[in-house]
Amino acid sequence: MSRASRRRASTEDDDAGTPAGTSTGTSTGDGGRRPRAKVQKSSGPRWDDRVAALGASRVPVVAWFVLVAAGLAALVCAMVPVGPGWLGDAGSVVVASAYSWALAARTGGRPVVFGTLAAVLGVVVVLTDQDALRTGAAVLTCAVAAVLGVMTTVPAVTFLRAARECVIAVLVAAVGALATIGFEPTITVTRFEYATFGLALVGAFAVVHRLGAGLHGLGRRGLLIVVVGGVLLAVTLLYAELLRRYGTTELVTSLLDAVRWSRDNLGAFPRPIESVLGIPALAYGCHMRARRRQGWWVCAFGAAATSAVANSLANPAIARTESVLSVCYGLVVGLVLGFVLIRLDLFLTGGSSRRGRNAPAAGGRRSRVAEEATALRPEPARGKPLL
């Protein structure tokens, strides 16, 4: 074998013993060296990943609370009044934008889009200073606050937790009430109340239709609850009109005397739609949501209470102190009725616990504890999207 043949055979043996894809550093046929594989450096986190991580943190929630607190402070200063005259407009725009953001985020929408849109529209309303635009902004702010008050609630295993959820919903709507009058709308009180109530109720039922898996998710019990709630709603709305048209003079006089006595001695009279329908439905619905998804349909009627709170300051003939007392009295009366509804429901159904049904001699408290231990239906936390 010649020297060239031995050199060529040695090169082929070396190449055969080298793993595939490994740079040998030997000369190529054209006299150059084989290029070494370049190691691609890992880039940092992408922009969309950073945005997603920021959204999953507590920063948006903290920023939202700061915005609402700043808007609330501006509205309070405008009511006192303290500071420049534009504080009321600024506070209303900030609260309306923050509430629109929160409602979109809670219902699985696009918070950036709706929050920005609300801010832009609010600024346009303030700059143009047209009565029609200010009134429209006040109506929408009131409706958004009422729906958000219902959507911020979470399931309640016990009545005390249900009462806490009602208080939170009322507080959310109360801030919306300040933002509503901050736009200084030009209104007819009755029309304004009916408009805000109707929009809030439609918005609440539209969201609940998605959360409650549509009408087919109602079941017999849920359908009965919706029918009863609708009847109560109709009776509550038509109550004053029916009394005015068909009530006897003695009956109307006695009812008006009761209202006057309450206003003279207690400082206010509770609003019927809040105390008879809204708060009981919200308390009972939160309690039911811990056990059954149909509780959302009951909570939708809670918009009757939150809308009444959100438009409670719109009547200039009623003092602010009386409006606040009326809301508080309605909350107390509504919670009493809600407690009766919850206890009646547990009594009729016997609770969802087999132990509670088969051991009546153990006492009501033990049965309730056993029933509450089985109420474990999960829902997203208060600051998380429901959808």
Work out how many domains the chain is built from and give that number. Answer: 1
Question: pLDDT digits over 351-367, tens only?
Answer: 544 444 444 434 566 66
Asked whether residue 292 is assigned to any structural domain, the reply reads yes
pTM of the model: 0.81
Residue 23 lies in a domain: no
382 domain-assigned: no
* 225-to-179, 299, 346 alpha-carbon distances in Å: 33, 11, 15
Q: Which residues contact 28 (CB under 8 A, 6 or more apart)?
A: 34
Residue 268 lies in a domain: yes
- pLDDT for 289-332, tens place per residue? 888 888 898 999 999 999 999 999 999 889 999 999 999 999 99
pLDDT, residue 228, reads 83
- What is the rounded CA–CA span in Å between residue 47 and residue 50? 5
User: Which pLDDT score, from 0 to 100, does residue 140 have?
Assistant: 96
Dig out the tokens for 35 from the structure: 């290029």
pLDDT of res. 32 = 53
What's the pLDDT at 291?
85
Burial class (CB in 10 A: 0-12, 13-18, 19+), 278: buried
Within a domain: residue 386?
no
Cα–Cα distance between 301 and 281 in angstroms, integer? Answer: 6
Q: Provide the greatest CA pair distance for the chain.
A: 133
Q: Does 238 reside within a domain?
A: yes
Q: Which pLDDT score, from 0 to 100, does residue 358 have?
A: 46
Q: How many CB atoms lie within 10 A of CB 303?
A: 34
Q: Is 12 exposed, middle or buried (0-12, 13-18, 19+ CB in 10 A)?
A: exposed
Q: Has residue 179 been placed in a domain? A: yes
What averages of pLDDT result for each successive group of 10 residues across the chain (387 residues)? 52 50 48 55 62 71 93 94 91 97 93 95 95 96 97 94 96 96 92 94 91 67 79 78 68 79 90 92 92 87 95 92 95 96 83 45 59 72 87
Which residues span the domain enclosing 326?
Answer: 57-373
Residue 48 lies in a domain: no
What six digits make up the tokens of 171? 């507080």
Closest CA to 113 of 100, 95, 126, 99: 100
